[in-house]
Amino acid sequence: MSKLHEVEIHRLHPTQITVGMIEVKDKREHLESLPRHERRDLLAAHAVPAVWGPGDKLYLIDHHHLARAAAEAGIEAAFFQVEEDLSALEIELFWHKMRSEHWAHPVDEQGRVKSWEDIPKHVDKLRDDVYRSLAAYVRNAGGYEKTPTAFAEFRWADFFRSRIAIGPKPTDFTHAVAQALKLAASPEAAGLPGFIR
C-alpha cells in the first residue's frame, strides 16, 4: 500500500470541470458536523488518489466532491496517495496520458466534451452540474450499483440530462430523483454501468 501524504487543498488541481454542488453541500455539512479528529480520520480514510504532473503539480484523479467540500468547510489540508509520477511529461503528452488512463474527464455542465485547458486550476473553481448530484442521489438510493467503471456517474448524469428537467427549487430536485429512480430501472438504462437487472 502506498504511503499517505498530507497536502494543502489549494495545491490540488482538478482533472474534471464539474461537480454536483448539492452533493458537495451534503459532504461539507457532514464534515462540519464532525469533531476535528474525526474529520481528520475521515479524510485519511478517503485519501485523494493523485498524479504528479508537469511543474510538480498534484492532480487529483478522484474525490473531487470531497476536496471541494473540504475547501468550503475551511479545512486547509487533506491526504493523498500518488498513483503515478508523470511530472517529466510535456503538458500535451501529460493530458493525453491522463485521458488514456481515464484519469481526466473534461466535460462541462451541459455534457459537452471540452479541452483540458477548460479544466479549472483549483477545486474552488469547479462548476456545478446538477445532473452529477442527481446521479449520486439515485445511486445512493439504490437505483444503480457503485462500479469501478471510469466516469460511471458522468454516464448516468448524461442519461438523466436528456430525459429529466430539473427546476430551481429543492422540491424540483426531489421530484427529479423520484423520476430518475424509475428511469434507472427501465430497459433504457440497461447498458449503463451498475445497472441492476
Q: Which three cell numbers stand for residue 115?
A: 479541452
CATH code at 130-189: 1.10.8.10
pLDDT of residue 197: 87
Residue 3 pLDDT: 78
Helix axes 21-33, 64-72, angle to 10 degrees: 60
Tell me the average pLDDT across 51-72.
96
Would you say residue 112 has pLDDT above 90?
Answer: yes
Residues of the chain with CATH 1.10.8.10: 130-189
Above pLDDT 90, what percent of the chain?
96
Q: What is the DSSP string of 58-73?
A: EEE-S-HHHHHHHHHT
* Dihedral sign computed on CA atoms, order 113, 119, 120, 124: positive
Residue 153 banded pLDDT, cuts 50, 70, 90:
very high
Provide the pLDDT for residue 92.
96
pLDDT at 2: 64
How far is the first Cα of the chain from the last one, in angstroms, to the nearest whole number?
35
Taking residue 33's Cβ as centre, other Cβ atoms within 10 Å add up to: 10
Residues 6+ apart with CB under 8 A from 18: 107, 108, 109, 126, 127, 128, 129, 132
3-state secondary structure of 49: strand
CATH number, domain 5-128:
3.90.1530.10
CA-nearest of 40, 24, 25 to 75 is 40
- The structure's pTM equals 0.93
Positions of CATH 3.90.1530.10 in the chain: 5-128
